[in-house]
Chains A and B, each alone.
Chain A
Amino acid sequence: MKRWMQFGGLLLVAAAIATARAEEPQPRAKGIESPDYVWNEMQGEKLQALRAKGDAVRGEIAFEVCQGCHRNKALGREDGKYPRLAGQHASVLIKQMTDVRAGRRDNSRMYPFANEHVLGPQDIADIAVYLQALPSDNANGKGPGAELVRGKAMYLRDCARCHGEQGEGHGPGFQPRLAGQHFRYLVHEGRSIRDGERRNADPKMVEAIRGYTDADLDAVLDYVSRLKAVQGGR
Protein backbone atom coordinates (compact mmCIF):
# COMPACT_ATOMS: atom_id res chain seq x y z
CA MET A 1 0.00 0.00 0.00
CA LYS A 2 2.79 2.36 0.96
CA ARG A 3 4.59 1.58 -2.26
CA TRP A 4 1.49 2.36 -4.25
CA MET A 5 1.16 5.69 -2.49
CA GLN A 6 4.80 6.47 -3.22
CA PHE A 7 4.24 5.52 -6.83
CA GLY A 8 1.16 7.77 -6.98
CA GLY A 9 3.14 10.62 -5.46
CA LEU A 10 5.86 10.16 -8.02
CA LEU A 11 3.28 10.24 -10.78
CA LEU A 12 1.87 13.49 -9.42
CA VAL A 13 5.33 15.03 -9.27
CA ALA A 14 6.04 13.84 -12.80
CA ALA A 15 2.75 15.33 -13.99
CA ALA A 16 3.55 18.64 -12.30
CA ILE A 17 6.96 18.76 -13.98
CA ALA A 18 5.43 17.84 -17.31
CA THR A 19 2.84 20.62 -17.09
CA ALA A 20 5.46 23.14 -15.96
CA ARG A 21 7.36 22.73 -19.20
CA ALA A 22 6.40 25.05 -22.03
CA GLU A 23 7.42 22.44 -24.55
CA GLU A 24 4.52 20.09 -25.10
CA PRO A 25 5.12 16.67 -26.60
CA GLN A 26 4.03 16.28 -30.20
CA PRO A 27 0.81 14.27 -30.51
CA ARG A 28 0.86 11.05 -32.47
CA ALA A 29 -1.74 10.32 -35.12
CA LYS A 30 -2.18 7.22 -37.24
CA GLY A 31 0.29 7.05 -40.08
CA ILE A 32 1.50 4.68 -42.74
CA GLU A 33 2.15 1.95 -40.14
CA SER A 34 -1.58 1.76 -39.48
CA PRO A 35 -3.85 -0.48 -41.62
CA ASP A 36 -6.53 2.25 -41.79
CA TYR A 37 -4.13 5.01 -42.86
CA VAL A 38 -5.53 7.22 -45.60
CA TRP A 39 -2.85 9.31 -47.29
CA ASN A 40 -3.62 13.04 -47.37
CA GLU A 41 -7.12 12.64 -45.96
CA MET A 42 -9.00 15.89 -46.49
CA GLN A 43 -10.18 16.96 -43.08
CA GLY A 44 -9.83 19.36 -40.18
CA GLU A 45 -7.54 22.32 -40.23
CA LYS A 46 -5.78 21.16 -43.39
CA LEU A 47 -9.00 21.68 -45.26
CA GLN A 48 -9.50 25.02 -43.50
CA ALA A 49 -6.00 26.22 -44.44
CA LEU A 50 -6.37 24.99 -48.04
CA ARG A 51 -9.66 26.85 -48.40
CA ALA A 52 -8.40 30.05 -46.74
CA LYS A 53 -7.15 32.83 -48.96
CA GLY A 54 -3.50 33.24 -48.05
CA ASP A 55 -1.86 36.65 -47.82
CA ALA A 56 1.87 36.80 -48.55
CA VAL A 57 2.42 40.06 -46.62
CA ARG A 58 0.96 38.53 -43.46
CA GLY A 59 2.78 35.29 -44.29
CA GLU A 60 6.17 36.99 -44.26
CA ILE A 61 5.46 38.19 -40.71
CA ALA A 62 4.08 34.84 -39.53
CA PHE A 63 7.18 33.14 -40.99
CA GLU A 64 9.49 35.03 -38.62
CA VAL A 65 9.23 32.28 -36.04
CA CYS A 66 10.33 29.75 -38.69
CA GLN A 67 13.33 31.58 -40.11
CA GLY A 68 15.54 30.90 -37.08
CA CYS A 69 15.90 27.42 -38.61
CA HIS A 70 14.77 27.62 -42.24
CA ARG A 71 16.66 30.88 -42.60
CA ASN A 72 15.77 34.22 -43.98
CA LYS A 73 14.12 33.80 -47.41
CA ALA A 74 13.56 30.12 -46.53
CA LEU A 75 16.58 28.79 -48.39
CA GLY A 76 17.24 26.17 -45.72
CA ARG A 77 20.64 24.75 -44.88
CA GLU A 78 23.03 22.86 -47.06
CA ASP A 79 23.71 20.33 -44.30
CA GLY A 80 20.13 19.16 -44.80
CA LYS A 81 19.06 19.68 -41.18
CA TYR A 82 16.48 22.22 -42.31
CA PRO A 83 14.95 21.99 -45.78
CA ARG A 84 14.58 24.74 -48.30
CA LEU A 85 10.98 25.93 -48.41
CA ALA A 86 11.28 28.79 -50.91
CA GLY A 87 9.29 28.06 -54.06
CA GLN A 88 7.55 25.00 -52.65
CA HIS A 89 3.90 24.51 -53.59
CA ALA A 90 1.50 26.09 -51.09
CA SER A 91 -0.58 22.91 -50.95
CA VAL A 92 2.46 20.82 -50.06
CA LEU A 93 3.51 23.28 -47.36
CA ILE A 94 0.02 23.26 -45.86
CA LYS A 95 -0.05 19.47 -45.86
CA GLN A 96 3.33 19.18 -44.17
CA MET A 97 2.64 21.85 -41.54
CA THR A 98 -0.72 20.38 -40.61
CA ASP A 99 0.74 16.85 -40.61
CA VAL A 100 3.36 17.96 -38.08
CA ARG A 101 0.67 19.66 -35.96
CA ALA A 102 -1.55 16.59 -36.01
CA GLY A 103 1.34 14.19 -35.39
CA ARG A 104 1.21 12.43 -38.74
CA ARG A 105 4.73 13.60 -39.51
CA ASP A 106 7.08 13.17 -36.57
CA ASN A 107 9.07 16.31 -35.84
CA SER A 108 9.34 17.12 -32.16
CA ARG A 109 11.91 19.84 -32.86
CA MET A 110 9.58 21.82 -35.05
CA TYR A 111 6.33 21.09 -33.26
CA PRO A 112 6.50 23.82 -30.54
CA PHE A 113 7.15 26.47 -33.19
CA ALA A 114 4.25 25.41 -35.37
CA ASN A 115 1.58 24.29 -32.90
CA GLU A 116 -1.67 26.04 -32.04
CA HIS A 117 -0.02 28.34 -29.50
CA VAL A 118 1.92 29.93 -32.35
CA LEU A 119 -0.08 29.53 -35.56
CA GLY A 120 -3.68 29.17 -36.65
CA PRO A 121 -4.99 27.78 -39.96
CA GLN A 122 -5.05 31.27 -41.50
CA ASP A 123 -1.38 31.81 -40.56
CA ILE A 124 -0.56 28.48 -42.22
CA ALA A 125 -2.29 29.58 -45.41
CA ASP A 126 -0.48 32.93 -45.27
CA ILE A 127 2.93 31.34 -44.75
CA ALA A 128 2.28 28.89 -47.58
CA VAL A 129 1.53 31.54 -50.21
CA TYR A 130 4.45 33.64 -48.99
CA LEU A 131 6.87 30.73 -49.35
CA GLN A 132 5.50 29.55 -52.67
CA ALA A 133 6.27 32.94 -54.21
CA LEU A 134 9.80 33.16 -52.79
CA PRO A 135 12.54 32.55 -55.36
CA SER A 136 14.66 29.45 -54.98
CA ASP A 137 18.12 29.31 -56.58
CA ASN A 138 20.69 26.79 -57.79
CA ALA A 139 23.03 27.26 -54.83
CA ASN A 140 21.45 24.33 -52.99
CA GLY A 141 23.62 21.49 -51.68
CA LYS A 142 24.47 18.91 -54.37
CA GLY A 143 25.53 15.28 -54.29
CA PRO A 144 28.98 13.99 -55.27
CA GLY A 145 28.10 13.91 -59.00
CA ALA A 146 29.52 10.44 -59.61
CA GLU A 147 26.44 8.56 -60.89
CA LEU A 148 24.31 11.14 -62.63
CA VAL A 149 23.57 9.02 -65.73
CA ARG A 150 22.25 6.15 -63.63
CA GLY A 151 20.43 8.63 -61.39
CA LYS A 152 18.72 10.29 -64.33
CA ALA A 153 17.52 6.97 -65.73
CA MET A 154 15.99 6.02 -62.39
CA TYR A 155 14.42 9.44 -61.96
CA LEU A 156 12.75 9.37 -65.37
CA ARG A 157 11.57 5.79 -64.83
CA ASP A 158 10.25 6.02 -61.26
CA CYS A 159 9.87 9.64 -60.12
CA ALA A 160 9.17 12.03 -62.99
CA ARG A 161 5.55 10.95 -63.44
CA CYS A 162 4.57 12.55 -60.12
CA HIS A 163 7.39 15.01 -59.37
CA GLY A 164 7.76 16.26 -62.97
CA GLU A 165 10.64 15.90 -65.41
CA GLN A 166 12.26 19.04 -64.02
CA GLY A 167 11.41 18.24 -60.39
CA GLU A 168 8.78 20.93 -60.41
CA GLY A 169 6.26 18.84 -58.47
CA HIS A 170 2.51 19.20 -58.78
CA GLY A 171 0.62 21.46 -56.42
CA PRO A 172 -2.91 20.12 -56.99
CA GLY A 173 -1.65 16.56 -56.35
CA PHE A 174 0.37 17.56 -53.25
CA GLN A 175 3.54 16.26 -54.88
CA PRO A 176 6.42 18.39 -53.68
CA ARG A 177 8.76 20.35 -55.84
CA LEU A 178 12.19 18.70 -55.54
CA ALA A 179 14.32 21.01 -57.67
CA GLY A 180 16.44 23.34 -55.56
CA GLN A 181 16.22 21.13 -52.48
CA HIS A 182 19.40 20.34 -50.56
CA PHE A 183 20.88 16.94 -51.39
CA ARG A 184 21.39 15.92 -47.77
CA TYR A 185 17.79 16.67 -46.90
CA LEU A 186 16.57 14.72 -49.93
CA VAL A 187 18.67 11.71 -48.86
CA HIS A 188 17.41 11.87 -45.28
CA GLU A 189 13.77 12.03 -46.35
CA GLY A 190 14.23 9.50 -49.17
CA ARG A 191 15.53 6.90 -46.74
CA SER A 192 12.85 7.71 -44.16
CA ILE A 193 10.13 7.27 -46.74
CA ARG A 194 11.59 4.02 -48.08
CA ASP A 195 11.97 2.61 -44.58
CA GLY A 196 8.43 3.53 -43.45
CA GLU A 197 9.71 6.05 -40.91
CA ARG A 198 8.14 9.05 -42.55
CA ARG A 199 4.65 8.23 -41.40
CA ASN A 200 2.76 10.72 -43.60
CA ALA A 201 4.26 9.36 -46.82
CA ASP A 202 2.24 8.50 -49.88
CA PRO A 203 2.15 4.67 -50.11
CA LYS A 204 2.64 5.01 -53.88
CA MET A 205 5.94 6.77 -53.17
CA VAL A 206 7.03 4.06 -50.75
CA GLU A 207 6.19 1.46 -53.38
CA ALA A 208 8.13 3.31 -56.09
CA ILE A 209 11.40 3.24 -54.13
CA ARG A 210 10.91 0.04 -52.17
CA GLY A 211 13.75 -1.77 -53.95
CA TYR A 212 16.19 1.14 -53.85
CA THR A 213 19.50 0.63 -52.05
CA ASP A 214 21.15 3.54 -50.26
CA ALA A 215 23.44 3.86 -53.28
CA ASP A 216 20.44 3.99 -55.63
CA LEU A 217 18.85 6.74 -53.56
CA ASP A 218 22.09 8.70 -53.48
CA ALA A 219 22.39 8.46 -57.27
CA VAL A 220 18.83 9.51 -58.08
CA LEU A 221 18.78 12.31 -55.50
CA ASP A 222 22.15 13.60 -56.68
CA TYR A 223 20.51 13.98 -60.09
CA VAL A 224 17.46 15.63 -58.45
CA SER A 225 19.63 18.12 -56.56
CA ARG A 226 20.93 19.39 -59.90
CA LEU A 227 17.51 19.99 -61.48
CA LYS A 228 16.70 23.59 -62.26
CA ALA A 229 12.95 23.96 -62.01
CA VAL A 230 11.09 26.91 -63.39
CA GLN A 231 9.68 29.04 -60.57
CA GLY A 232 6.19 27.96 -59.58
CA GLY A 233 5.96 24.92 -61.84
CA ARG A 234 2.59 23.35 -62.42
Chain B
Amino acid sequence: MRQFPEAGLRRLARYLVAALAATALGAQAQEAAKIAETVCAPCHAPDGNSVIPNFPKIAGQQPSYIAKQLADIAAGKRKSDAMGPTLASVKPSDFAALAAWFGAQKQAPGKVEDAAAAKVGERLFKDGNEATGVPACAGCHMVNGEGNDRNPRISGQHQAYAVKEILDFKSGARANDKGRVMRVVAERLTEAEIKAVAEYMAGL
Protein backbone atom coordinates (compact mmCIF):
# COMPACT_ATOMS: atom_id res chain seq x y z
CA MET B 1 0.00 0.00 0.00
CA ARG B 2 2.89 2.33 0.68
CA GLN B 3 3.91 2.04 -2.98
CA PHE B 4 0.74 3.68 -4.25
CA PRO B 5 1.10 7.27 -3.11
CA GLU B 6 4.79 7.25 -4.06
CA ALA B 7 4.00 6.13 -7.60
CA GLY B 8 1.22 8.68 -7.74
CA LEU B 9 3.56 11.42 -6.61
CA ARG B 10 6.09 10.40 -9.18
CA ARG B 11 3.45 10.59 -11.88
CA LEU B 12 2.39 14.01 -10.63
CA ALA B 13 5.98 15.19 -10.55
CA ARG B 14 6.55 13.95 -14.10
CA TYR B 15 3.43 15.74 -15.24
CA LEU B 16 4.47 18.97 -13.56
CA VAL B 17 7.95 18.82 -15.09
CA ALA B 18 6.51 18.22 -18.56
CA ALA B 19 3.97 21.00 -18.15
CA LEU B 20 6.65 23.42 -16.97
CA ALA B 21 8.92 22.45 -19.85
CA ALA B 22 6.10 22.94 -22.35
CA THR B 23 5.31 26.35 -20.91
CA ALA B 24 8.96 27.29 -20.96
CA LEU B 25 9.28 26.16 -24.58
CA GLY B 26 6.12 28.03 -25.49
CA ALA B 27 7.46 31.11 -23.77
CA GLN B 28 10.76 30.75 -25.63
CA ALA B 29 8.97 30.46 -28.97
CA GLN B 30 6.96 33.57 -28.15
CA GLU B 31 10.14 35.35 -27.15
CA ALA B 32 11.75 34.24 -30.44
CA ALA B 33 8.85 35.66 -32.45
CA LYS B 34 9.22 38.92 -30.57
CA ILE B 35 12.97 39.08 -31.21
CA ALA B 36 12.38 38.27 -34.88
CA GLU B 37 9.95 41.13 -35.18
CA THR B 38 11.96 43.73 -33.30
CA VAL B 39 15.63 42.81 -33.89
CA CYS B 40 15.77 40.79 -37.13
CA ALA B 41 12.90 42.17 -39.23
CA PRO B 42 14.52 45.48 -40.23
CA CYS B 43 16.99 43.58 -42.43
CA HIS B 44 15.53 40.08 -42.87
CA ALA B 45 11.83 41.11 -43.04
CA PRO B 46 9.29 39.95 -40.45
CA ASP B 47 9.01 36.42 -41.90
CA GLY B 48 12.69 36.07 -42.81
CA ASN B 49 12.12 36.71 -46.52
CA SER B 50 14.47 39.67 -46.83
CA VAL B 51 13.69 41.89 -49.81
CA ILE B 52 17.15 43.50 -49.71
CA PRO B 53 19.45 41.40 -51.94
CA ASN B 54 22.49 41.98 -49.70
CA PHE B 55 20.75 40.40 -46.71
CA PRO B 56 20.02 36.70 -46.86
CA LYS B 57 16.60 35.14 -46.81
CA ILE B 58 16.49 33.05 -43.67
CA ALA B 59 12.90 31.84 -43.94
CA GLY B 60 12.97 28.06 -44.29
CA GLN B 61 16.70 27.94 -43.58
CA GLN B 62 17.93 24.86 -41.74
CA PRO B 63 17.61 25.63 -38.00
CA SER B 64 20.93 23.92 -37.21
CA TYR B 65 22.64 26.25 -39.70
CA ILE B 66 20.96 29.41 -38.36
CA ALA B 67 21.87 28.48 -34.79
CA LYS B 68 25.50 27.86 -35.76
CA GLN B 69 25.78 31.17 -37.64
CA LEU B 70 24.30 33.08 -34.70
CA ALA B 71 26.76 31.43 -32.32
CA ASP B 72 29.68 31.99 -34.71
CA ILE B 73 28.84 35.66 -35.23
CA ALA B 74 28.41 36.18 -31.49
CA ALA B 75 31.79 34.53 -30.89
CA GLY B 76 33.48 36.51 -33.67
CA LYS B 77 34.14 33.40 -35.77
CA ARG B 78 32.04 34.85 -38.56
CA LYS B 79 32.49 38.55 -39.10
CA SER B 80 29.48 40.63 -40.02
CA ASP B 81 29.36 44.42 -39.73
CA ALA B 82 25.58 44.36 -39.82
CA MET B 83 24.91 41.36 -37.60
CA GLY B 84 27.67 41.75 -35.03
CA PRO B 85 26.35 44.81 -33.20
CA THR B 86 22.69 43.84 -33.69
CA LEU B 87 23.18 40.42 -32.22
CA ALA B 88 24.66 41.83 -29.03
CA SER B 89 21.12 42.52 -27.82
CA VAL B 90 20.06 38.87 -28.21
CA LYS B 91 20.72 36.29 -25.49
CA PRO B 92 22.58 33.19 -26.72
CA SER B 93 19.97 31.12 -24.88
CA ASP B 94 17.41 32.40 -27.41
CA PHE B 95 19.44 31.38 -30.48
CA ALA B 96 17.93 27.89 -30.78
CA ALA B 97 14.35 29.12 -30.54
CA LEU B 98 15.08 31.91 -33.00
CA ALA B 99 16.60 29.41 -35.43
CA ALA B 100 13.59 27.14 -35.10
CA TRP B 101 11.20 30.07 -35.62
CA PHE B 102 12.82 31.24 -38.87
CA GLY B 103 13.32 27.66 -40.04
CA ALA B 104 9.58 27.13 -39.76
CA GLN B 105 8.72 30.10 -42.01
CA LYS B 106 8.04 29.53 -45.69
CA GLN B 107 10.68 30.79 -48.08
CA ALA B 108 9.49 33.14 -50.84
CA PRO B 109 10.75 31.95 -54.26
CA GLY B 110 13.79 33.65 -55.78
CA LYS B 111 14.06 34.95 -59.30
CA VAL B 112 16.55 34.12 -62.05
CA GLU B 113 17.81 37.31 -63.64
CA ASP B 114 20.24 35.84 -66.18
CA ALA B 115 18.93 32.65 -67.75
CA ALA B 116 22.11 31.95 -69.72
CA ALA B 117 24.24 32.16 -66.58
CA ALA B 118 21.75 29.97 -64.71
CA LYS B 119 22.21 27.27 -67.35
CA VAL B 120 25.97 27.28 -66.80
CA GLY B 121 25.29 27.26 -63.06
CA GLU B 122 23.01 24.27 -63.33
CA ARG B 123 25.81 22.13 -64.73
CA LEU B 124 28.12 23.23 -61.91
CA PHE B 125 25.45 22.66 -59.31
CA LYS B 126 24.66 19.13 -60.48
CA ASP B 127 28.01 17.95 -61.89
CA GLY B 128 30.72 20.27 -60.59
CA ASN B 129 33.74 20.99 -62.75
CA GLU B 130 35.93 17.92 -63.08
CA ALA B 131 38.69 19.90 -64.83
CA THR B 132 39.29 22.00 -61.72
CA GLY B 133 38.12 19.53 -59.08
CA VAL B 134 34.96 21.38 -58.12
CA PRO B 135 32.44 18.97 -56.64
CA ALA B 136 28.74 19.25 -57.43
CA CYS B 137 26.95 21.55 -54.97
CA ALA B 138 24.15 18.99 -54.93
CA GLY B 139 26.40 16.54 -53.08
CA CYS B 140 26.13 18.37 -49.76
CA HIS B 141 23.28 20.83 -50.37
CA MET B 142 21.01 18.23 -52.01
CA VAL B 143 19.71 18.32 -55.60
CA ASN B 144 16.92 20.75 -54.75
CA GLY B 145 19.29 22.94 -52.72
CA GLU B 146 17.29 22.67 -49.51
CA GLY B 147 20.24 21.32 -47.52
CA ASN B 148 19.82 19.14 -44.46
CA ASP B 149 20.67 19.08 -40.79
CA ARG B 150 24.37 19.48 -41.60
CA ASN B 151 24.38 21.76 -44.64
CA PRO B 152 22.47 24.98 -45.27
CA ARG B 153 19.64 25.60 -47.68
CA ILE B 154 20.99 27.52 -50.67
CA SER B 155 17.90 27.40 -52.87
CA GLY B 156 15.91 30.56 -53.55
CA GLN B 157 18.64 32.78 -52.12
CA HIS B 158 19.39 36.32 -53.30
CA GLN B 159 22.14 36.29 -55.93
CA ALA B 160 23.98 39.27 -54.42
CA TYR B 161 24.20 37.62 -50.99
CA ALA B 162 25.19 34.22 -52.36
CA VAL B 163 27.93 35.70 -54.57
CA LYS B 164 29.35 37.73 -51.68
CA GLU B 165 29.47 34.76 -49.33
CA ILE B 166 31.16 32.46 -51.85
CA LEU B 167 33.66 35.22 -52.70
CA ASP B 168 34.31 35.64 -48.98
CA PHE B 169 34.98 31.91 -48.68
CA LYS B 170 37.30 32.23 -51.68
CA SER B 171 39.30 35.07 -50.12
CA GLY B 172 39.21 33.52 -46.66
CA ALA B 173 37.28 36.49 -45.23
CA ARG B 174 34.68 33.95 -44.19
CA ALA B 175 36.26 30.94 -42.56
CA ASN B 176 33.61 29.33 -40.37
CA ASP B 177 32.99 26.42 -42.74
CA LYS B 178 33.18 22.83 -41.56
CA GLY B 179 36.45 21.13 -42.47
CA ARG B 180 37.48 24.05 -44.74
CA VAL B 181 35.38 22.37 -47.42
CA MET B 182 33.52 25.46 -48.65
CA ARG B 183 36.71 27.51 -48.74
CA VAL B 184 38.42 24.88 -50.90
CA VAL B 185 35.43 24.68 -53.24
CA ALA B 186 35.29 28.48 -53.52
CA GLU B 187 39.04 28.69 -54.19
CA ARG B 188 38.55 26.35 -57.13
CA LEU B 189 35.62 28.34 -58.53
CA THR B 190 36.13 31.29 -60.89
CA GLU B 191 34.19 34.49 -60.31
CA ALA B 192 32.14 33.80 -63.43
CA GLU B 193 31.28 30.34 -62.10
CA ILE B 194 30.28 31.82 -58.74
CA LYS B 195 27.90 34.23 -60.43
CA ALA B 196 26.51 31.45 -62.61
CA VAL B 197 25.84 29.09 -59.74
CA ALA B 198 24.21 31.88 -57.70
CA GLU B 199 21.84 32.51 -60.62
CA TYR B 200 20.87 28.85 -60.76
CA MET B 201 20.41 28.63 -56.97
CA ALA B 202 18.12 31.66 -56.97
CA GLY B 203 15.71 29.81 -59.23
CA LEU B 204 15.66 26.61 -57.17
**Which residues of B, 164-204, contact A by the 8 Å Cβ criterion?**
172, 175, 178-181, 183-184, 187-188
> Which of the four size classes fits the interface of chain B?
20 to 34
Task: Find out whether the CB atom of B136 lies under 8 angstroms from the CB atom of A65.
Answer: no
CB pair A65 B172 closer than 8 Å: no
Set A68, A110, A117: member contacting B140, Cβ < 8 A: A68
> If the complex has contacts A20-B172, A82-B130, are A113 and B136 also in contact, measured as CB distance less than 8 A?
no
- Cross-chain contact of A68 among B137, B172, B175, B183 (Cβ < 8 A): B137
At the interface, yes or no: A112 with Cβ under 8 Å from chain B? yes
Give residues of chain A (31-89) contacting chain B, Cβ–Cβ below 8 Å: 61, 64-69, 71-72, 77, 79, 81-82
Check A118 against B179 for contact (C-beta < 8 Å): yes
> In the complex the two chains form, what is the Cα distance from A119 to B181 in whole Å?
11
Distance in angstroms from B194 CB to nearest chain A CB is 15
Known A-B contacts A113-B184, A118-B179; the reply to A64 vs B138 at CB < 8 A is no
- With both chains docked as a complex, state the minimum distance between the C-beta of B186 and any C-beta of chain A, in angstroms: 8
Also in contact, A112 and B136, with CB within 8 A (given A20-B172, A22-B172, A64-B151):
no
How many chain A residues sit at the interface, stated as a range, is 20 to 34
Which residues of A have CB within 8 Å of B150? Answer: 61, 64
Task: Let me know if B133 is at the binding interface, CB within 8 A.
Answer: yes
Q: A residues within 8 A CB of B151?
A: 64
Return chain B residues, CB-CB under 8 Å to A113. Answer: 135, 181, 184
Residues of A within 8 A of B128 (CB): 68-69
Task: Give the Cβ gap from B179 to chain A, nearest Cβ, in Å.
Answer: 4
Residues of A within 8 A of B135 (CB): 68-69, 113
Q: Does A109 interact with chain B (Cβ within 8 Å)?
A: yes
Complex Cα distance, B107 from A71, in Å, reads 28
Query: Given that A20-B172, A68-B140 are contacting pairs, would A112 and B130 also be in contact in the complex, using a CB cutoff of 8 Å?
Result: no
Q: How far is the CA of A112 from the CA of B179 in the complex (A)?
A: 9
Question: In the complex, A194 Cα to B138 Cα: how many Å?
Answer: 35
- Chain A: CB-nearest residue to B128: A68
Task: Return the contact of B136 from the options A69, A118, A119 (Cβ within 8 A).
Answer: A69
Given contacts A22-B183, A118-B179, contact A68 B130 (CB under 8 A): no
Cβ-based interface call for B92 (8 A): no
Instruction: Give Cα distance in the complex from A77 to B181, angstroms.
Output: 22
- The reply on A204 being an interface residue by CB < 8 A is no
Q: Is A207 an interface residue (CB 8 A)?
A: no
Check A81 against B181 for contact (C-beta < 8 Å): no
| Cα(A79)–Cα(B136), bound, Å | 15
A69 to B181 CA separation, bound complex (whole angstroms) = 13
Q: In the complex, are the beta carbons of B139 and A112 less than 8 A apart?
A: no
Residue A21 lies at the interface, judged by CB distance under 8 Å to chain B: yes
Contact check, B139 vs A23: say whether CB atoms are below 8 A apart. no
Distance in angstroms between the alpha carbons of A109 and B187 in the assembled complex: 12
Asked if residues B139 and A68 are in contact (CB atoms below 8 Å), the reply is: yes
Residues of the B chain whose Cβ atoms lie less than 8 Å from the Cβ of A118: 178-181
Query: Within the complex, what minimum Cβ distance (angstroms) separates A20 from chain B?
Result: 5
Which residue of chain A lies nearest to B177 when distances are taken between CB atoms in the complex?
Answer: A22
Q: How far is the CB of A113 from chain B (nearest CB, A)?
A: 6
Residue-wise, chain A 4-44 has the 8 Å CB interface mask toward B (1 for contact) of 00000000000000001111000000000000000000000
- In the assembly, what is the distance between CA of A79 and CA of B129, in Å? 13
Across chains A and B, which 10 residue pairs bring their CB atoms closest together, nearest first?
A68-B135, A68-B139, A22-B183, A109-B133, A118-B179, A67-B139, A112-B184, A22-B180, A81-B130, A68-B136
Q: Give 26 A-B contacts (CB < 8 Å), ordered by A residue.
A: A21-B172, A22-B175, A22-B180, A22-B187, A23-B184, A23-B187, A64-B140, A64-B150, A65-B139, A65-B140, A65-B179, A66-B139, A68-B138, A68-B140, A69-B130, A69-B135, A71-B136, A72-B138, A72-B139, A72-B143, A110-B133, A112-B181, A113-B181, A113-B184, A118-B178, A119-B179
Beyond the given A65-B179, A68-B138, A113-B184, could you list 8 further A-B residue pairs with CB under 8 A, ordered by the A residue number? A22-B180, A22-B187, A69-B136, A71-B139, A72-B139, A77-B130, A109-B133, A112-B181
